[in-house]
Structure 1
Amino acid sequence: MGIQLAERNGLRTLYELEGKWRLARVILQRDGTQAHFIGTAAFLRNQDGLDYSETGKLHMPGQAAMKAERRYEYRQRGSAVEVFYPDGRPFHRFGLDDPYPYAAHLCGEDNYQVVYDFANLPNWTAEWHVRGPRKNYNLTSRYSLMD
């Protein structure tokens, strides 16, 4: 269960993410405004894969910190991982054969593109670039395995 601390070159299976993680996120708007999320994330085994949940505080400029939560379901299908919203709708898919997998998701006219970096497990990142008529920001999430 979980990631071994030996030298790594990406994920071999989805289940290497199982466990609890420290999570730090920076959301950089096009105008330079930054928001920060600090919290924890957990990947817990279910019958089809891993349930993902995160909880923490979102700090936005000029506002009081607010509680924020997010949930997804991750499933491994062969050499790929499929990510679903809590209601079962597909979100995106990425391959396990690359330490820097890429995925994209179109939400209306807004385009979400992510690059994962699993090259330095047990530390990893997900960097999202979101562009469209309603959204224009970069979001970087940094995960570190909790002891």
Structure 2
Amino acid sequence: MGEFWPVKDALAHLAGRWRVERTVRDLASGEEGHFGGTTVFSPLEDGGDGLLHHESGTFVWQGTPRPAERTLWFLPGRTAGTSDVRFTDGRPFHDLDLTTGHHIAEHPCAADLYRGEFTVYDEDRWRTVWRVGGPAKDLVLTTDYTRERRPSDPVL
């Protein structure tokens, strides 16, 4: 894909609706799954600063489709290009700094380590690659996000 696209305000950039395509590769077994759906970044329900991230769609693993969803909070970081990403029970997930258009984050989870690479390509496309390693996991999750625009939406 090309150069990184710096983001001045992470929350303003992420706000809206995104088409999501994700591949999940189990490096140990060679199995591969696919998730397709949408992610919506909307204002928090309590009116606080930040965004509610809600992802929903269908995950296909070993030929079996299942509904899948997750919800996170993207809260303001220390500066406009950053965010503090949390689970909805308030536990920290990872930091996010998009000021250069590229960021590496880590999240220890029990015996596993999640290492995420975030790349912004332009105002309408970004990618995450999570490498998950631990005693029982050896995964790579690659997710491409493409902004969904309505005909009435202005082009930034």
Deviates most, 117-126 or 137-146: 117-126
Please point out which of 6, 11, 26 is paired with 1:10. Answer: 6
Contact 1:15 1:50 in 2 (8 A): no
Pairs within 5 Å for 1:1-147: 9-13=5-9, 14-30=11-27, 31-46=29-44, 47-63=48-64, 65-79=65-79, 80-147=82-149
Q: Distance in 2 between matches of 1:53 and 1:43?
A: 7
Contact 1:95 1:101 in 2 (8 A): yes
TM-score with structure 1 setting the length: 0.89
TM-score with structure 2 setting the length: 0.85
Q: Distance in 2 between matches of 1:113 and 1:121?
A: 24
Question: 1:3 aligns to what?
Answer: none
Question: 2:154 aligns to what?
Answer: none
Moved over 2 A (4+): none
Q: CA offsets per residue over residues 119-140 of structure 1, 9 Å max, x none?
A: 3331101100000012110001
* Aligned residue type for 1:68: A
Q: CA offsets per residue over residues 76-134 of structure 1, 9 Å max, x none?
A: 22232110001111100022322111100000110000000113331101100000012
Q: Distance in 1 between matches of 2:92 and 2:132?
A: 18
Identity over aligned pairs, percent: 31
Q: Which runs of 5+ in 1 are unaligned?
A: 1-7
Q: Distance in 2 between matches of 1:129 and 1:122?
A: 24
